[in-house]
Structure 1
């Protein structure tokens, strides 16, 4: 943050970043950011400020800011690359905004905020039960006295407008710290994600230990960093929808008070947008948490040490080649692209297929005495496949005047010898071949096996045209 504010062109950089990135647009597509920053630079040059501008195009400036840690490149789920302000850049913009806006004063509101915070800290740190009870009794007596006074007088003491303005400025001062805090939490989660993936790729530990530890860290990523733990504690307060509703109600009361008209328009807008800025910060942190969990889980599932080492070796070869080529290269020198992959040098490939015939004839089948068989030929045929000829003739016999026949009704009307499960499949096959129409209803039929057992089947009812079902037995040959 200090590096950004102490740069020679810090006023220009802070102004451009504050114009491009706003509370309503925390992330900007890379192409849009380059275009908007380029347009702003062109307008400054046209106004005669070209000598005070940094050298380079908008793309080069954004790359420099990204290398300096002021911008963060991020790829969304729809493969759109965007820029986001880093926590350091957000903090620099907040410092610049406070310096250019209303100056914070040592007011009653700020001192009271400090005293209340110290009192709350002391209460949370003191484990003495008697002290806690005495403090609560004192608070109860004070509140009861206030209730009795209001009931007796029927009036509430009005606060001076100057004090209300001081309290409003104190609230705005506190709110301006939130975006940088949310950004730091999101960046700490991303840093933890990079550490986990790097440690996983090094493959210095057994795979089982890596899987157990890093899957657990992926599931509990919010508790893995100090910033994340602090955010999780604050989330229990601001993450409650009821508290956010109460916050909106309180802000509405403040903005409707007459003292709010004395606030500048930007400050009234800041007060009105407090709830939305909190929701945007929460969404930023939750998005970083989901992405970190997804990346870590994907890396663990798809981790291949051999492939990772091959990729690392390939990247090192590329970097070595670039280091050898860059010193002798000239600015603007063209590079011949690799238009096709190199062809493998193979001395000889087989040009004839192998002999598919076995080297020797199979052994002859052993003789079997059929007289000893305990299964007759009729029984074997009864357990065989569908009897297409008989089924076709049965459909033709049941066809009505229009030639249509319901397959389920035809199966129910068939004799037991043609009501086997395979015969149902045969009927459906014939109906499909001749063209069938779905009835939209579920049909139930009972099939009979050769041994007498029954099986109920359900299928979508269909009808077929039996006019073309008068094929002969040779057709089904």
Structure 2
């Protein structure tokens, strides 16, 4: 900040920064900033500034000047939420503009308002520091008595004590003096949060500890980032007072009451505008600090999730080896000497390694099977019940169910079968038999119940199937018109 105020072109830099960055525009797009600063330079040079007569202007265009100001720490270049590069004032730039504004504005003087503010602050400090409960009780009783006396006087028709316009002007100047410090304080807190973010990311990049340990430590620091610096702790305390929307609304209502008073007509236009913008500047500063906190937490979390310190260290060691090789090779090389490029980095030849390291012992054969005892009884019935389809029984049942008809409904035949051939596997076997005999699928969906050998039931849904009678060759006409008792009767009558 002092470097900005003490340099040769300080009047130009301060004026241009105050013109471009205002309370309404804390962030300005890079292209717009360059255009406005170039326009200001052209106007000043056309008016005679920058000549050898003694009114110096910096050399270069707006792009060069902004680059110098970013390097000096007066401007910050960043990407906004809508992916546009913008400039914003740093805490040092805001502080320099505040100093210049106080010097160029109304002179602050010792007044009743400023002394009362100082006395109130000291009294509040003493009350907060005094742990004596009885002393605090006495103070509260005295304050209640004084308030009750004033309330009684007003209720009995007493007049409200008026304040001279001169005292109100002094109080307004004191308020503006206090408010001018806030933007620099907010910017300082936001930049301290960004500095912590950079420190944490730098430590993560050089860390070789386990990822879980790094995650627990640095994410906790990222969540509590406001408590890590004196500025952050002070802002957290102020946030409890001004972070409440109701508090901001009350402040705005009080400012409107002040601006409606006749004494504000004696204030310059700039000071009236500053009074109007107090609540918005406070709210904007709080949002800026909270946005910096969210961004820092996001960057730290992303770095912890995606960072691999061991891999980065290996890459750094490889690059150092390459640079060391270059330093050794360059002194002994000649101009124009052909260099064979390295197509790929060397890989260690380690042969074949074990692919499974869970058990270092060689694999053992399985235990031998138990010797079969031929005299042991085998439950053949139960084994067959859990076996495959009973094709012979299914074919005989399908032919018996079809009778003399040329075709048969497979799902209806399955429903009419005995339980021992109505297993789920028998349904598949019946479909196989129907496929071999010739079948046609219908549009309807049939639902059948199957019975497993343990007497549990399973329900299946399948498309309707009409199959040719296994005892009769398939007849296309019969498959197109499935046979049922009613249709058989009608066919006999027609014949």
Instruction: Compute the TM-score of the two structures, normalised by the length of structure 1.
Output: 0.71
Per the TM alignment, residue 178 of structure 1 is displaced from its structure 2 partner at its CA by 0.6
1:394 aligns with 2:457: no
Coordinate RMSD, CA, aligned: 3.4
1:416 aligns with 2:448: yes
1:30 aligns with 2:30: yes
Deviations 1:390-448 (A, max 9, x none): 997321xxxxxxxxxxxxxx33xx2527x99xxxxxxxxxxxxxxxxxxxxxxxxxxxx
SS in 2 for 1:377: coil
CA pair 385-221 structure 1, distance change in 2 beyond 3 A: farther
SS in 2 for 1:153: coil
1:280 aligns with 2:284: yes
Query: Which residue does the alignment assign to 2:168?
Result: 164
Query: Which residue does the alignment assign to 1:453?
Result: 458
Aligned counterparts of 2:145 and 2:306: Cα–Cα separation in 1? 64
Deviations 1:340-369 (A, max 9, x none): xx89379xxxxxxxxxxxxxxxxxxxxxxx
Per the TM alignment, residue 21 of structure 1 is displaced from its structure 2 partner at its CA by 0.7
Matches for 1:282-301 after TM superposition, within 5 Å: 282-301=286-305
SS in 2 for 1:416: strand
Per the TM alignment, residue 40 of structure 1 is displaced from its structure 2 partner at its CA by 1.5
Per the TM alignment, residue 152 of structure 1 is displaced from its structure 2 partner at its CA by 2.2
Aligned counterparts of 2:131 and 2:306: Cα–Cα separation in 1? 50
Query: Which residue does the alignment assign to 2:152?
Result: 148
Alpha carbons 2:447, 2:460 under 8 Å: kept:
no
Query: Which residue does the alignment assign to 2:77?
Result: 73
Counterpart selection for 2:113 from 93, 100, 109:
109
CA pair 293-345 structure 1, distance change in 2 beyond 3 A: closer
Matches for 1:39-54 after TM superposition, within 5 Å: 39-51=39-51, 52-54=56-58
1:178 aligns with 2:226: no
SS in 1 for 2:441: helix
Aligned counterparts of 1:385 and 1:42: Cα–Cα separation in 2? 96
Per the TM alignment, residue 384 of structure 1 is displaced from its structure 2 partner at its CA by 8.2
Query: Which residue does the alignment assign to 1:10?
Result: 10
Matches for 1:23-422 after TM superposition, within 5 Å: 23-51=23-51, 52-309=56-313, 344=343, 374-378=386-390, 380=425, 382-383=427-428, 393-395=441-443, 410-411=444-445, 414-416=446-448
Alpha carbons 2:28, 2:87 under 8 Å: kept:
yes
Aligned counterparts of 1:232 and 1:139: Cα–Cα separation in 2? 30
Per the TM alignment, residue 14 of structure 1 is displaced from its structure 2 partner at its CA by 0.4
Aligned counterparts of 2:318 and 2:194: Cα–Cα separation in 1? 26
- Specify the structure having the higher radius of gyration (Cα): 2
Aligned counterparts of 2:80 and 2:38: Cα–Cα separation in 1? 24
Q: Which moved more, 1:109-118 or 1:22-31?
A: 22-31
Per the TM alignment, residue 271 of structure 1 is displaced from its structure 2 partner at its CA by 0.8
Query: Which residue does the alignment assign to 1:338?
Result: none
- Structure 1: gaps of 5 or more residues: 324-341, 347-369, 396-409, 421-449, 457-469
Per the TM alignment, residue 137 of structure 1 is displaced from its structure 2 partner at its CA by 1.3
Aligned counterparts of 1:226 and 1:96: Cα–Cα separation in 2? 26
SS in 2 for 1:72: strand
Count of residues in Structure 1 that have an aligned counterpart in Structure 2: 371
CA pair 315-171 structure 1, distance change in 2 beyond 3 A: farther
Aligned counterparts of 2:7 and 2:137: Cα–Cα separation in 1? 55
